[in-house]
Amino acid sequence: MTLAELMVPVMNVALVVGVGVVLPLAFERPFTAFQVAAVGVAASLSVAPGWPAAAVLAPWLALSVREVVSALRRKRLVALFVAGFSLTAALALVVSRMEWVLFGIREPIVKLTAIHFTFAGAGTLALAARAVEARPLPARRWAGALLMVAPPFTAVGFLTQLAFFQVGGAVLMTVGVLAVAVFSAQEARVRQRWARALLFVSAASPWVAMALAVSWAANQYWPEVPALTVPDMVPTHGALNAFGFVLVGHVAWWLDARGR
């Protein structure tokens, strides 16, 4: 099996795991409601595109709206961005399952938008927030600010097809992600057992993955820059970031909290 043949299975698993595991950990909510939403995502991905496939995404949309309202009531900016990224991801998957073409953007980019806003958006920003809560240092706050700006900045790049936004967004995202990886390694040294090991795994995962992301973005404007194709990027760059960095990182913080 080639890397390209793994693209669709990896995307589908990422969406289900992202909704069912990463988002409740990111929002610090009980798993049950999000696991119901994850079942809806799995059902949506298992049927033909159309209204039924979009309708079963309603639980994810509803949970995201709930988190947006909650963040507004609590006046928590980071929580609002995490919730907004989740809502954006859910809406992107609705567009994907309806096979709508908006702003000239087609598959697999639409479906990948849902994945990116789940992991690179909500999941990564929530990891940055964890690092700030552990030690509210200025560098950690700046990394969080970068991760609030980078996903929409990159999205503007896809909409405008301007290198400043698309490549610039990839660079911003890379700096933010790698900063969080460094903070995770720092925190791993003072954690115990599984939390320590998993934080080190999370910290090690995005370095190659983010280099691939920057090279891919640059290749869209300067073809001489070597880059993988989109089908090859999903099981490499995507899997390392989604599962190795974000998922493992959140599980590590969850285990640490339970241990304490």
How much of the chain, in percent, has pLDDT values that exceed 90?
95
* pLDDT at res. 100: 96
Position 177 pLDDT exceeds 80: yes
Mean pLDDT of 1-16: 92
Give the pLDDT band (50/70/90) at residue 258.
Answer: confident
Question: What is the residue-averaged pLDDT of the chain?
Answer: 96
Position 52 pLDDT exceeds 90: yes
Buried b / exposed e across 114-135, counting CB within 10 Å, b at 16+?
bbbbbbbbbbbbbbbbbbbebe
Give the pLDDT band (50/70/90) at residue 2.
Answer: confident
Range of the domain at 235: 4-259
Mean pLDDT of 21-31: 97
Give the pLDDT band (50/70/90) at residue 14.
Answer: very high
* pLDDT at res. 6: 94
Residue 131 to residues 125, 169, 185, 204, Cα–Cα distance (Å): 10, 22, 10, 16
Mean pLDDT of 158-176: 96
Give the pLDDT band (50/70/90) at residue 234.
Answer: very high
Number of domains the chain contains: 1
Q: Would you say 144 and 195 are in contact if contact means Cβ atoms under 8 Å apart?
A: no
* pLDDT at res. 161: 92
Q: Which amino acid is at 45?
A: L
* pLDDT at res. 259: 76
Position 1 pLDDT exceeds 90: no
Distance CA 153, CA 169 (A): 5
Position 24 pLDDT exceeds 90: yes
List pLDDT tens digits, range 64-88. 999 999 999 999 999 999 999 999 9
**DSSP string for 58-88:** HHHHHHHHHHHHHHHHHT-HHHHHHHHHHHH
* pLDDT at res. 3: 82
Residues 6+ apart with CB under 8 A from 59: 33, 36, 37, 40
Q: Which amino acid is at 3?
A: L
Position 34 pLDDT exceeds 80: yes
Number of alpha carbons in the 13 Å side-chain half-sphere of residue 11: 26
